[in-house]
Amino acid sequence: MEIETRPSPGAVALVTGAGGGIGARVAARIAEIGCRVICAGRRVERVEAVAASLDGRGLGLYLDVTDQNSVASLGSRLPADWRQVEILVNNAGHDSGGRRPFHEGTAEQWADIIDTNVVGLVRVTRALIGGMRDRNRGHIVNIGSIAGTRPYATGTLYSASKHAVHGFTEALRLDYVDTGIRVTEIMPGMVKTDFAFNRSGDAAQAAQFYSDFGTSLDPDDVARSVVFALQQPAHVVISALTVVPISQR
Ligand SMILES: NC(=O)c1ccc[n+]([C@@H]2O[C@H](COP(=O)([O-])OP(=O)(O)OC[C@H]3O[C@@H](n4cnc5c(N)ncnc54)[C@H](OP(=O)(O)O)[C@@H]3O)[C@@H](O)[C@H]2O)c1
């Protein structure tokens, strides 16, 4: 069987939520394997700083995945030689107001979790899949979570959102089975990032949360899993990969 080089040399990747945490490490690891990386997110100074650290292979891009105009204009806002996106890593996500009983969350927080983690991910996928179909080449990597198969108390909306990502990702893979488009879900367990801080806005509480948990993954552990999925031979798809810290049950 023919073993193609994957990704193609100099391929363009787009990583959402690339200004920090998992997304920033994913951008760095993808650049290391020779791709050019569009680092997308709402905090422009952060995505530009990450892009600038990629030895000439990065480009910062303002992108709010909850804003249809921001997503729809994505292609036209890119320089011409950055428009053929071969790899999409849907990483943007949050659990605003989470880790509390369901009745304590607000409708705004629930809607924001679903709009970002689910609808946003679908929006960006829809915006880029046309080009992948035209070229019959692409790889979509969705950052789900172990919460996508194992719901937990105090994580109602987040678990619901990641269950949706899980179902969407596998169905998407089946839609493009036997084409040049591959679809992967990476499902991390606990990763130490700004995620806990962004949930509550309380730095001390976030630090205590990770300290109480014990051993967490590093964002780079997730990034290496993404690159592992990207570098498989043409006939192999990593459809779903669960990555947890050694002590996580
Ligand atoms: N940390 C964990 O334990 C863990 C475990 C499993 C899965 N995950 C998943 O991993 C992904 C990354 O999380 P992380 O841990 O790296 O947390 P993080 O450090 O808080 O990063 C989340 C990123 O999402 C971006 N984002 C949020 N809303 C956005 C929007 N509307 N448009 C564009 N970007 C948006 C943020 O960038 P801007 O604010 O600049 O837009 C930020 O860079 C998420 O999907 C999360 O659910 C995390």
| All structural domains of the chain with their residue ranges | 12-243
Do 171 and 125 contact (CB within 8 A), yes or no? no
What is the 2 CA–ligand 1 centroid distance (Å)?
A: 37
DSSP string, 81-118: GG--EEEEEE-----TT-SS-GGGS-HHHHHHHHIIII
What is the 1 CA–ligand 1 centroid distance (Å)?
A: 38
* pLDDT recorded at residue 4: 63
Which CATH topology does 12-243 take? Rossmann fold (3.40.50)
Q: Which amino acid is at 81?
A: D
- Of 62, 152, 158, 176, the active-site residue reads 158
Residues whose CB is less than 8 angstroms from the CB of residue 110 and which lie 6 or more positions away in sequence, other chains included? 97, 157
Which DSSP state fits 120?
I
Q: Which atom of ligand 1 is nearest to the CA of 162?
A: 47
Q: Which amino acid is at 121?
A: L
10 Å Cβ neighbour count for 155? 21
Do 244 and 217 contact (CB within 8 A), yes or no? yes
- The two most distant CA atoms of the chain are separated, in Å, by 55
Cα dihedral 73→46→215→224 (10° resolution): 60
Q: Which of 47, 86, 226 minimizes the C-alpha distance to 143?
A: 226
In angstroms, the Cα distances linking 243 to 71, 113, 127, 136, 142 are: 29, 22, 28, 29, 14
| pTM summary value | 0.98
What is the 41 CA–ligand 1 centroid distance (Å)?
A: 10
In the residue annotation, 176 being an active-site residue is answered as no
Return the exposure string of 195-212: e unless at least 16 CB atoms fall within 10 Å of the residue's CB, then b.
Answer: bbbbbbeeeeebeebbee
Instruction: Ligand 1: list residues with CB < 6 Å.
Output: 16-17, 19-23, 41-43, 46, 63-66, 91-94, 116, 120, 143, 145, 188, 190-191, 193-195, 198
Q: What is the spatial distance between Cα 202 and Cα 119, in angstroms, rounded to a whole number?
A: 27
* pLDDT recorded at residue 6: 86
Paired strand residues for 183: 140
Do 143 and 128 contact (CB within 8 A), yes or no? no
Q: What is the spatial distance between Cα 248 and Cα 133, in angstroms, rounded to a whole number?
A: 39
SS3 190: coil
- Closest Cα to atom 44 of ligand 1: 93
pLDDT in tens, the chain (249 residues): 455 678 998 999 999 999 999 999 999 999 999 999 999 999 999 999 999 999 999 999 999 999 999 999 999 999 999 999 999 999 999 999 989 999 999 999 999 999 999 999 999 999 999 999 999 999 999 999 999 999 999 999 999 999 999 999 999 999 999 999 999 999 999 999 999 999 999 999 999 999 999 999 999 999 999 999 999 998 999 999 999 999 999
Paired strand residues for 59: 38
Paired strand residues for 89: 15, 141
What is the 235 CA–ligand 1 centroid distance (Å)?
A: 31
